[in-house]
Amino acid sequence: MIKINSFPDPIIEYDFENVYPPSEDTYLLIDYFKESVNEKYFDGINIKYIKNILDLGTGTGIIAIFFQLITQNFVNFNPKIYASDILEEALICVKLNEKLNGIKKKITFIKSDLFKSFPLNLKNTFDIIIFNPPYLPSLDDLNEKERELNIDYSWNGGIKGYELVLKFIEQARQFLNLHHKCYIYFINSSRTNLNDFNYILKQKGYENEILNKKHIFFEDIILNRLTLRKY
């Protein structure tokens, strides 16, 4: 059975100033997928069910490009890849990196603040959603107006560090394909209150599984996988 752990990472040469570059958290995601995706299964889900993959907050596009390149190597793996970001600059960056990797207009791009500008026909269609969000707590010595003026979309996850992720999760549910098991993958940080965060997730109907983590300087960055709870 062929795995993708021997495949080279996408070439990322275009990296604009305001666009989040590939970092340790990015490769925490990619390295996990290299071990859990093969020509038959996507992390335990039969690969024939994976029709639409969304890379939300795509940045340089490395994860979207990574999956698009896999489709060129696995005959039975041919989902539609979507890449979305709030920044127009990021989407320009992705398109340049897409060409650099020999991909010609295969990825579908959406400029959107989370799911705000997604077309209605994409509701209930995504089998896999990946989000490497801003996940650090904002500076709590700033007042609300100062926070808005100083917001940095690459790291600011809200006062507690998980407000943006929760907003994402609330919106994501209506875009998941609920006809079979589907996954949401996301990154968060040990600098947030993880007990409170996971309690809220359960209240919202999700089960969260920690897949991997990496300690960097003052924090653990954590790779999570969400599934809808069964009652």
Give the C-alpha distances (Å, rounded to integers) separating 184 from 10, 193, 202.
Answer: 22, 20, 14
In the 8-state DSSP scheme, what is residue 194?
H
pLDDT band at 231 (very low <50, low <70, confident <90, very high): very low
Domains and CATH numbers, the chain: 24-228 (3.40.50.150)
Would the pLDDT of 40 be above 70? yes
Would the pLDDT of 158 be above 60? no
**What region, left, alpha or beta, does residue 43 occupy, with left being phi > 0 and alpha being psi -120 to 50 degrees?**
left
Looking at 4-8, 75-79, 190-194, 224-228, which range is the least confident one?
4-8
* C-beta atoms surrounding 111 within 10 Å: 13
**Mean pLDDT value of segment 179-208:** 92
Give the C-alpha distances (Å, rounded to integers) separating 46 from 43, 182, 192.
Answer: 8, 11, 34
